[in-house]
Amino acid sequence: MADSDKAKELGKADRDIVALGIATASIILFVTAGGQVVPDAVLAIMGKGVGPDKLLANAMLLNIVLLVFGWRRYRELTDEIAERRKAEECARRLAEIDPLTGCLNRRSMAERTAELCDKAAASNRAVAYAMIDLDDFKRVNDVNGHAAGDGMLVQIAQRLQQCLPENALLARLGGDEFAIVTMFDPAHREHIDDLISRIYDATGALAASSGPVIGTTLSIGVAAVESGGSPQDSKINVQTLMHHADIAMYHAKKQGKDRYSWFEPSMVSELRMRHELEASIRYGIAAGEFVPYYEQQIDLETGELVGFEMLARWESPKLGLTLPEVFIPIAEEMGVIGDLSEGLMIQAFADARNWDPALTLAVNISPIQLRDPWFAEKILKLLVMHNFPPQRLEIEITESCMLDNVAMVRSMIENLRTQGIRISLDDFGAGYSTLEQLRALPFDRLKIDRSFIAEVRSPHSSTKIVDAIISLGNGLKLPITAEGIEDEQILERLKSMGNLKGQGYYYGHPETAAQVHERLTNSGRLASSGPSPDHGRGPGIVSAHDLGVGEQPMTASGRA
């Protein structure tokens, strides 16, 4: 039933006060008639009179019936009204409350925040709105199951509730998003910083959950409004306040998650830029602006070229030649990394078909792609469709994929290996893989992260870590590639440490398909006289540093 209908019904019930009026009139009539009938009846019983007038006596009896009827009707109606009021109150509460956590919901939060802004304006206080988002909650749900995900939301809500100052509001805005609103003294912003610290302390244990249950962290954006103004103004203020808190939260995520930021006006343009970047990436994928570059992979012992690693580049008409550190994380978040990667692989297969068939092609695969249960099938289909032998393909995955469902990653790797594709563990040492995981997953090769290789440059520096990784590889019977060989000194030291493959700027920077074609033509390592690819190299390379994307400098308000 609609609210207005309910109100009408209730109003009607209220107007049945008429029934009470009838009952009251009956009582008055009863008293009047009874005043004559009862004494006459008593006298008649005592043998002193002729008894009451029959008409009056009947009228009195009818009166009694009416009285009882009227009274009962009145009681029924008051009970009914009380029942309905209760039901309405319950419905109103349900409409305001998030059923899972018992917090306010998005709609009621907006209304209550407007009220709080009004109150704050009247008492010269400020209002802070903290937008709280759980980091990577989708992964928590995927790995732990939705029931565990719900349990975690309930626990987070309880812990947030415990941190709330008096009169503060807590809402679950939907999904994994919460919000807290509170008044504060504008001269003491640090009180809000303290509140946020308490929130991180209270929820920290959940973040540290380990084992089969993946924990989560929080990214928080805070915006403040210093005066509420009229109710109409405060409505505008609430919208702006929420929007600013959202932008600040987004900024905290961009800075690396598990931290908070106060809103700053510069963040608005940052967000606009991000949206433009997303739109350009989406367009660029369709327009074929993403192209493969290739880095040589060398047998260090013989100096012979053994293959190439394909590295994505974006030939953006607006930004120029752009590095993967700028667009890969965004493509991952946008959910288009699979399409981007497929497009690149198709181009790379076409390029590599013209090379000496002994040359391998390594491609980097994002952990996000490995979460797709059809990933192995998709790769095999691409190989068949584009006529590329699986034995020439190496897939490079990073340690972060092991934080996901190891059993699923293992079956995927096994599936790919059965078809002849080899799997390398990229950037080894830079991530979090345990020896246990390393043993559990059937890799074909370890690639030592270039940060360790850089350390062997000076003849006096310690080679202990690289030595340890090499002997680990030997123990697990995994061949090793050293990344980031930048000069001859590094090369000579590595050569003395074992039989390794290597790659790095010493052998040249990543090249376009056309440059690789020329290189292979000169060294007589083309498969046949295939058509020369026409990808060109852009003028300058755009890195994440140039765009201020994907870097970690903290704002004054963030947690490091």
What residues contact 32, with CB distance under 8 A and at least 6 apart? none
Backbone angles phi, psi at 39, to 5 degrees: -60, -40
The footprint of Mg ion on residues 482-501 (CB under 5 A) is 483
The footprint of ligand C2E on residues 433-462 (CB under 6 A) is 450
Stretch that binds Mg ion, among 271-279, 285-293, 423-431, 459-467 (CB under 5 A): 423-431
Which one of 504, 533, 550, 558 is in contact with ligand C2E (CB under 6 A)? Answer: 504
Q: Does 351 bind ligand C2E (CB under 6 A)?
A: no
Q: Does 364 bind Mg ion (CB under 5 A)?
A: yes
Instruction: Look at strands 320-322 and 304-316 and give their pairing.
Output: antiparallel
Nearest approach in angstroms of CB 537 to Mg ion is 20
DSSP 25-52: HHHHHHHHHHHHHHHHHHHHHTTSS---
Which one of 135, 176, 399, 427 is in contact with ligand C2E (CB under 6 A)? Answer: 427
Angstrom distance (rounded) from CA 464 to CA 448: 13
Q: Does 426 bind ligand C2E (CB under 6 A)?
A: yes
For the chain, the first-to-last Cα distance in angstroms comes to 53
Give the tokens for residue 90: 């319950």
Interaction mask 317-356, Mg ion, x per CB under 5 A? ----------------------------------------
The footprint of ligand C2E on residues 309-348 (CB under 6 A) is 311-312, 323-325, 328, 341, 344
The closest alpha carbon to 206, from 219, 198, 196, 217, belongs to 217
* Nearer Cβ to ligand C2E (215/550): 550
Stretch that binds ligand C2E, among 91-99, 260-268, 499-507, 521-529 (CB under 6 A): 499-507
Strands (E), 42-189: 126-134, 169-174, 177-184
What residues contact 515, with CB distance under 8 A and at least 6 apart? 537
The rounded radius of gyration (Å) of the Cα atoms in the chain is 38
- Chain residue at closest Cβ approach to ligand C2E: 504
Which one of 108, 364, 424, 433 is in contact with ligand C2E (CB under 6 A)? Answer: 364
The footprint of Mg ion on residues 212-241 (CB under 5 A) is none
Name the helix (H) or strand (E) containing 232.
Answer: helix 231-254
Angstrom distance (rounded) from CA 34 to CA 42: 11
Q: Does 307 bind ligand C2E (CB under 6 A)?
A: no
The footprint of ligand C2E on residues 373-412 (CB under 6 A) is 396
Q: Does 366 bind ligand C2E (CB under 6 A)?
A: yes
* Nearer Cβ to ligand C2E (400/437): 400
Stretch that binds Mg ion, among 141-149, 357-365, 408-416, 490-498 (CB under 5 A): 357-365
In the chain, count of helices (H) and strands (E)?
20, 15
Q: Does 133 bind Mg ion (CB under 5 A)?
A: no
The distance of Cα 319 from the centroid of its chain, to the nearest Å, equals 28
Q: Does 297 bind ligand C2E (CB under 6 A)?
A: no
3-state helix, strand, coil in the chain (%, to 5): 55, 15, 30
The footprint of ligand C2E on residues 506-535 (CB under 6 A) is 510
Q: Which does 486 bind (CB under 5 to 8 A by kind): Mg ion, ligand C2E, none?
A: ligand C2E
Nearest approach in angstroms of CB 395 to ligand C2E is 10
Which one of 258, 351, 394, 396 is in contact with Mg ion (CB under 5 A)? Answer: 396
The footprint of ligand C2E on residues 457-486 (CB under 6 A) is 483-486
Q: Does 143 bind ligand C2E (CB under 6 A)?
A: no
Alpha helices in 463-512 (DSSP H): 464-475, 488-495
What residues contact 263, with CB distance under 8 A and at least 6 apart? 221, 222, 223, 224, 244, 245, 247, 248
Binding residues for ligand C2E (CB under 6 A)? 295, 311-312, 323-325, 328, 341, 344, 364-366, 396, 426-427, 450, 483-486, 503-505, 510
